[in-house]
Amino acid sequence: MSSAKKKSSIDIDIYSHLTAARNYLRKLDDFYARAAAPHNMTFEHYQVLLAAQCLGDNLTLRVLAEHLVRDRTATGQLCRRMEQLGLLELTYEANSHRPQLLINLSQRGLEALKSITEDGLRNRDQYLRSLGPEKRLYLVEAVRFSWLEGLESVTGQPRVEG
């Protein structure tokens, strides 16, 4: 096989893997978006609840916005709307020369997070069970490739960049 043909087939594999991984991640997001709808919530609401749970109590607006890769002002507006819905508790940092908005899950927010997560995981599992074994293995390989390719050496040990 000529080197041009070999390179072309490698490129196709790369694009195929990246496309499959991106498609799966969009489907995964859609499972949670659909699970949020019966709670009168959006996928954005779910992402905020998830981040607040995972990043800990008294999460600052700056950290949340960075985590969500969103503008701080837009994130603050979203959090205020979520506070009005009873999903978040917002306070300001005490004893600070420049008070920061602190974000915490409310009890209602925690309950919604758990319910949406359970529904989303159930939908994900149903989808994965609907795929044949070969398709599931391809999906695993595509996601592994798109995130980990090149980080492991031939021996399977993580490669340390220098």
Domain count, the chain: 1
Residue 123: closest CA among 35, 16, 54: 35
What is the CATH number for 98? 1.10.10.10
The Cα 8–Cα 57 span in angstroms is 50
Tell me the residue type at 114: K
So what's the pLDDT on residue 150?
A: 66
Whether 155 is covered by a domain: the verdict is no
Q: Find the domain containing 120 and state its range.
A: 3-148
Whether 160 is covered by a domain: the verdict is no
Q: Is the pLDDT of residue 162 over 60?
A: no
Mean of the pLDDT values across residues 74-88?
97
Contact in structure between 39 and 116 (CB atoms under 8 Å): yes
Largest CA distance in the chain: 69
